[in-house]
Amino acid sequence: MTGKFSELDMYYFGQGTHYEIYKQMGAHPAEEDGVQGVLFQVWAPHAAQVYVIGTFNGWNENANEMERLKPEEAGIYACFIPGVKCGELYKYLIVTSDGTKLYKADPYANYAEKRPGTASAVADIMHFKWSDDAWMKARAAVKDIYAQPMTIYEVHPGSWMRHPGREDEGFYTYRDLAHSLTAYVKEMGYTHVELMGIAEYPYDGSWGYQVTGYFAPTSRYGTPEDFMYLINYLHKNKIGVILDWVPAHFPRDAHGLADFDGEPLYEYADPRKGEHPEWGTKIFDYGKAQVKNFLIGSALLWIEHYHVDGLRVDAVASMLYLDYGKQPGQWVPNQFGENKNLEAVEFFRHINTLITGRNHGTVMIAEESTAWPMVTGPAENGGLNFSYKWNMGWMHDFLDYMKLDPYFRKGNHNKMTFAMSYNGSERYILVLSHDEVVHLKCSMLNKMPGLEDEKFKNLMVGYAFMLGHQGKKLLFMGQDFGQSREWSEERELDWYLLEDPRHKHLQDFVKALLHLYKKNPCMYENDHDWGGFEWINANDADRSIFSFVRKSKDGKNNLLFVCNFTPVAREDYRVGVPKASTYKLVLNSDDAAFGGSGEKRPASIKAEHSECDGREYSIAYPLPGYGVAVFSYK
């Protein structure tokens, strides 16, 4: 049950610190004088009058006028309506000072009518019986989040898999996904899923990045309770959940946040600050306490109520720079004449510190595409206090290199080594996301050079290099089995490709990499400094071969990677090794299980006292074209 806003509630809201605002704003089951119904509350300070209209009153515009609570300058309207049931549709009719009528969805709604409808829906989200206590306690008890494994499977729920032959879109429901997606993720060995497009949005083609319902899981796949079932089930199977979250901008749709009460409210009033000319969207006013409270409340809803383990914050750069995507004259400098949005900077420091401080073990991830300093640095030292930053620089260099004909890779060798020169500046996630396999960019498989068989081999060695490199990892769905077509939100992945042995071999190789990663702490417990990584040979450009070591903190778990990025076999490739030890072959891309030759290779090799790569000891190994060899040693 919830109650009307008190003066204390209004004070905290006005300060931007009403952290459980989602429990009061919006539509919530309530009781007045022993009568059950729903209490509606909305912020609309510029409105002259506000009404609730819906299926429960026949959309009668005069049936339920809302009361403007005192103090009136707070702009909070409330209305208790007896007998309203969960599932009823509603909107706010806002009458502006000039008499214009606006029909708005509830910004704080917990559920929405399935598109193309645009109404909000009454929902009671407070009675789901969670059974993920073991996961939640283990998460809270983590001593060092950065020392935990993280391989993220990025998923668009509506196009991961669909029911065939259905007259509707055939979407998997949240409950369908709970079982099918969990089974796949467990088998493959991913540690987390990142779900795109969960917060309600009107247009499928936006993939969920133009949000109208910041407090509502999209109704495309079921109810809020169904969504909780999905999170609960993933957690019970020891899989973490990250959501994409979009505080950077919102669409102009008439039922949404734009000019909500007849004037700019959620957006900056000055269009030079409040609009993205290129995107045609509105920019949140990060200097307004109630707007910051709205966004913080949304984040806390997902983290604290829905038990989500982290948020990947979209388009961070567009928030940090006042001139992002704008021409001269289209933006306003800050008080120091700079292009930094100081209000957005403070917003990030506030929300990141708050989220991770209140919810130990959760993460805030920045999709930040520039060289803004200290994105993951502590707030007290001038940083933004994100947990991780997507490493877009590594991604672009990696893809530029992988697209090259192997003959030309020797002249671009540094593209694969450069990221380690700045790896310690932030805490990174290496990403191959959905953005890289759309809009004529080609799928990962078809970015690769060569004939069809060579494309698969290229992708295998590329994925091995990625998984071995420092940084947490993210791979978009479909790329682990070599989706041939670009991704489209309009259809499911091409799962039939797994009938082709080459696609199945690639999938099995990625599975082997993921399980190798989880099994060996050296692959993840120190991703931030040179204590966990060492180049053996970063300069073998002529042969386009990279060799490096991943090291555990205790020195007892170490892996040596050797990756050949040309089709030329090196029958006796000699590589320097750190110690006079025995090197056990734990992954061989030429294994028949991965579509290789199946040629018998030594299961272990004892290091020889023979100098190589500036090291006293070395081993020799028959390295095939596009070959990957991973060795463990003590």
Dist. CA 458–CA 38, nearest whole Å:
59
DSSP state of 114: P
Dist. CA 432–CA 430, nearest whole Å:
7
Q: Report whether the peptide linkage leading into residue 29 is cis, meaning its omega lies within 30 degrees of zero.
A: no
**Residue 298 CA: distances (Å) to CA of 282, 291, 292, 393:** 18, 11, 10, 30
SS3 label, residue 130 = coil
Backbone phi and psi for residue 198, each to the nearest 5 degrees, phi listed first: -90, -50
CB hemisphere CA count around 579 (13 angstroms): 15
Closest CA relative to residue 532, chosen from 543, 524, 540: 524
Residues across the chain: 634
Q: Which residue has the tokens 């991780």?
A: 388
C-alpha triplet 528, 533, 538: angle, nearest 5°: 120
Tell me whether residue 367 is one of the annotated catalytic residues: yes
**Residue 555 CA: distances (Å) to CA of 460, 548, 549:** 28, 15, 12
For the record, the structure tokens of 619 come out as 């081993």
| Cα 240 to the center of its chain, rounded Å | 12
Catalytic, out of 132, 285, 367, 368: 367
Return the CA Rg of the chain.
27
**Residue 439 CA: distances (Å) to CA of 43, 240, 434, 443, 447:** 39, 30, 10, 10, 13
**Residue 507 CA: distances (Å) to CA of 450, 460, 494, 565, 634:** 20, 9, 13, 19, 29
Catalytic, out of 106, 261, 314, 527: 314
Strand partners, 250: 282
| Cα 502 to the center of its chain, rounded Å | 29
For the record, the structure tokens of 15 come out as 């300060």
Dist. CA 219–CA 627, nearest whole Å:
46
Dist. CA 195–CA 243, nearest whole Å:
5
Dist. CA 209–CA 283, nearest whole Å:
13
Dist. CA 424–CA 621, nearest whole Å:
32
Is residue 273 within 8 Å of residue 342, measured between CB atoms?
Answer: no
DSSP state of 207: T
Tell me whether residue 132 is one of the annotated catalytic residues: no
For the record, the structure tokens of 418 come out as 């450069």
Residues tagged active-site: 314, 367
